Amino acid sequence: MRSNSVLDYFNVVLKKHNAGYFVLIDPEQCEVDKCAKLAVAVEQAGADAILLGGSFLTNDLHPIAKALKQETELPIVLFPGDSMHLTPHADAILYISLISGRNPNYLIGEQVKAAPWIQRYALKPIPTGYMLIEGGNRTAVEFMSGTAPIPRDKPDIAGPHALAAEYLGMQMVYLEAGSGAAQPVPDQMISAVKNQISIPLIVGGGIRTPKIAAEKVKAGADFIVTGNVLEKNGSFELMKDFANAIHA
């Protein structure tokens, strides 16, 4: 499945379930076999896509992505921390610009470096406005990007950022508390952002229970991302519970 068809597929998921479930696999957290096993479980549990990536990467991405592609029919969507996190063994890439920050390197610099490789690998990008929201602790993305998150009690600041992303032609907005965030993005902020935009809204970071995931969907999230909770103490049952709670 190539990337524009992945966007179409996301819309089909939204029509069918009202909201979708993405599982983040961080190549830094698992070796090839373990990542591949996780991907199989993710598919069987009923998730809708796999995001592959992280803020900081020392493992070789290529064999991990290749194994995921071999083991699952789910779309593999790259979620890169920078322009080095690219591989042809994927269906799509979230072409993210860190619009909540004012670091030109993550607004446009890494995107320019990545562009020729995305073309070479025939990965059509999904332009995504990525917004870091204060999550109660300092996260890897905050440190690596050198950007300050939007304060969690300022939905009035978050909304116009998301609207600007849509006006700039981006096709998704990602509200991110950061992987392992102490607190997920507040419901009030999700609702405020959702009310300002018509493009799909992804919400992730610090979502640890299916109940919280369902609350985020109720607040306006179109897609929920979980990462840590499955890598650390995830069972197959928990994955299924997340998928059911989000699709309900």
Q: Which residues bind ligand 1GP (CB under 6 A)?
A: 24, 176, 179-181, 204-207, 225-229
Least Å from the CB of residue 229 to ligand 1GP: 6
Q: Which is nearer to ligand 1GP, 5 or 111 (CB)?
A: 111
Q: Which is nearer to ligand 1GP, 120 or 232 (CB)?
A: 232
Biggest CA–CA distance in the chain, Å, is 44
Q: Which is nearer to ligand 1GP, 167 or 236 (CB)?
A: 236
Residue nearest to ligand 1GP (CB): 204
Q: Which is nearer to ligand 1GP, 8 or 172 (CB)?
A: 172
Q: Alpha helices, DSSP H only, in 138-227?
A: 140-145, 155-167, 187-196, 210-219
Least Å from the CB of residue 234 to ligand 1GP: 10
Backbone angles phi, psi at 227, to 5 degrees: -130, -80
Least Å from the CB of residue 4 to ligand 1GP: 23
Least Å from the CB of residue 236 to ligand 1GP: 17
Q: With beta carbons less than 8 A apart as the criterion, state whether 71 and 42 touch.
A: no
Q: Which is nearer to ligand 1GP, 119 or 245 (CB)?
A: 245
Tokens 């004012």 correspond to 102
Across the chain, where does the E strand assignment appear? 20-25, 49-52, 76-78, 92-98, 125-132, 172-176, 201-204, 223-226
Least Å from the CB of residue 85 to ligand 1GP: 13
Across 14-151, where does the E strand assignment appear? 20-25, 49-52, 76-78, 92-98, 125-132
